[in-house]
Amino acid sequence: MKAHTHKNCANQDYLTPVLVKPTNANRIAEQMKREDSLSIDLEDAEYIQSYFSISYREFMTILARTITQLPIEAKRTGLRVTIERSKGSVVTLKITKM
């Protein structure tokens, strides 16, 4: 039986890994801990790169990982991030310090 492949994932040769520097991940976590909530336009790469001093791809990787972390990981990082609301490309993150 042939496995089903989504048309956008048919050619995985173009997928490239995103390397995240631990120092950048820690710095972003510390920046987030200073806020109770944070609204970010995810389509505004220039703002993200300027505000967080990090590449757009690396920021998005850190954000995705932070939102999906397990409770035990949240205890280690001292940070729990959830999506409070979204409208278009703007997401508002609820930031809880642990």
Question: What was the pLDDT predicted at 10?
Answer: 62
pLDDT of 39 reads 96
Q: State the pairing for strand pair 90-97/79-87.
A: antiparallel
Residue 15's identity, in one-letter code, is L
Report the CATH architecture of 19-97.
Answer: Orthogonal Bundle (1.10)
Q: How confident is the model at residue 18 (pLDDT cuts 50, 70, 90)?
A: confident
More confident residue, 59 or 7: 59
Q: What is the pTM of this model?
A: 0.79
Task: Determine the average pLDDT of the residues in 17-21.
Answer: 88
- Using the predicted structure, report yes or no on whether residue 98 has a pLDDT greater than 90: no
**Alpha carbon 34 to its chain's center:** 17
